Amino acid sequence: MVGKSVRSSMKWLKLFSNKGVNMRKIYIFSLIAIITSVCCACGNIDTSLTNTKTNNTLIEDSYVLNDDEKEIYIDIRYPQLAESTASDELIEQINYLIKETALTILSEYSSLDNAQIKVTYDTKCNNDNFISVLFNVNSVVGVQAYPRILCRTVTIDLQTGEQLRLNDMVKVNQEFVDTFFEIATNVRAYSEEWSKESLEAINKSAKESTTLKALTSSDRTTNPDYCSYITDHSLGICVGVPYAIGSYAIYEAEFKDIEEYMKEILLQDKVIT
């Protein structure tokens, strides 16, 4: 981009010189144009994760339980790492974390009698450094009057096999909370084409309920209403809201807009040009 702009300026400089135009003025004009082009180019920041390639092969696994007598119908799907540059020991640890997250929903019910639980997933990030998975849960258990719809997530550092929670990836302070929800997009609402009124109600509820304390303790079984994930270019946060207005909302903000809050674990995998 810079080279193209410089060549364009030099082309005009040569053209005007051939026509006898005042060279001092043209030189100054061209110099300003070149400097402006360079500055604009330097201002373009690519804050996507740089290592988006992957040698990982993911396969789908499942936990299925059908018991007609107790009216239990459970179908939980989750990805497993089949091939990777990681060691066999790390792969085993990573797969355990993914499966454990998917099956955690079962521990949230005192009884599974008369239960219908379905869990699907969306692999949000899969490269040589990270795997991040979003689980969608739809369940009716016992005498529930309506389905329980929620989400769970897990993000794993493939270099260590450790789970990354929100406060492992960004500096969670009040300024971050305010900034994130000011610039983030409710991606679940838009994908499902909710009405403007519903979207306003969801956003109002999510922002009012999301406190610094809530996000500091997110991605834990003790705080299931808040969880996070990453994509190659953004951070996502899931927020529980009342069932009547959607059960949960998912917000995403691009890394380039929250870079000042990002911790080294994400910054080391990024490039600013």
Predicted confidence pLDDT, tens digits, the chain (273 residues)? 444 444 444 444 444 444 444 444 444 434 444 434 434 334 344 455 555 567 789 999 999 999 999 999 999 999 999 988 888 999 999 999 999 999 988 988 778 888 999 999 999 999 989 999 999 999 988 877 678 888 999 999 999 999 999 999 999 999 999 999 999 988 876 556 667 777 788 888 888 888 899 999 999 988 888 999 999 999 999 998 777 666 888 999 999 999 999 999 998 765 332
Alpha helices in 171-247 (DSSP H): 174-183, 187-191, 196-209, 212-216
Would you state the pLDDT for residue 271? 37
Strand 162-163 relative to strand 185-186: parallel, antiparallel, unpaired? unpaired
Would you state the pLDDT for residue 119? 96
| Tally of CA atoms within 13 A in the half-sphere of 75 that contains its CB | 5
Q: For the whole model, what pTM was predicted?
A: 0.77
What count of other Cβ atoms lies within 10 Å of the Cβ of residue 57? Answer: 11
Would you state the pLDDT for residue 50? 53
Beta bridge partners of 228: 237
Would you state the pLDDT for residue 78? 98
* CA atoms of 131 and 133, how far apart (whole Å): 7
* CA atoms of 223 and 252, how far apart (whole Å): 20
* Burial (CB count <10 Å: 0-12, 13-18, 19+), residue 234: buried
Would you state the pLDDT for residue 195? 73
Taking CA atoms, 109 is separated from 18, 51, 81, 151, 174, in Å, by 83, 40, 28, 15, 33
Would you state the pLDDT for residue 16? 40
Would you state the pLDDT for residue 147? 82
Beta bridge partners of 139: 117, 148
Q: Greatest CA separation found in the chain? A: 96
Which amino acid is residue 159, in one-letter code?
Answer: Q
Taking CA atoms, 112 is separated from 66, 71, 73, 103, 151, in Å, by 11, 9, 9, 13, 19
* CA atoms of 117 and 140, how far apart (whole Å): 6
* CA atoms of 258 and 176, how far apart (whole Å): 8
